[in-house]
Copies of this chain bind each other. A is one copy, B any other.
């Protein structure tokens, strides 16, 4: 973190020296890709394509950037076009698979539950994010509270979507009929 060394006293200095070299290298690599995600967030603002959010997907083996994207909700006129969603889509197409278990995800901000669930569904094994969702919430964004909204424990926002659960046998039947499809999609 720039400026962190200057601010730390002798005790913190000795702590810094104890960090293993591999950890420092990992942090440097993470910082590099996080900077790239931040560049994407800035593009979103500059081009007015959507909120200031960026995402980068990196091949864990080669270190190659597979996708770098920013929020395009306004540009694409699509409520689902968050940076992470577009990164997953792009990487799936590029690698010709819907399981990205060899990619690390870097995001400028803590993903909203839609994006986090997508990260989960895409089998991405590692996520590095730059700022807590609270920083976005503090200036009016609130996707970070969707999880609270779903649970009904939100401070700032609760979901007011009326949900009707029919639990109709017609709808349940298809699952027992198609037991052979045991894949999470």
Contact = CB atoms under 8 A, between A and B. Distances in A.
Interface of A: 1-2, 30-31, 34-35, 37-38, 41-42, 45, 50-53, 71, 73-74, 77-80, 82, 85, 88-89, 92-93, 96-100, 108-110, 112-132, 135-136, 138-143, 146-147, 149-151, 159-172, 174-176, 178-179, 181-185
Contacts of A131: 166-168, 171-172, 175
A148 to B, nearest CB: 11
A78 B164 CA distance: 29
Please give me the 7 A-B residue pairs with the lowest Cβ-Cβ distance, nearest first: A130-B171, A140-B182, A114-B117, A131-B171, A79-B122, A73-B185, A51-B185
A143 B121 contact: yes
A161 B112 contact: no
Nearest to A133: B175
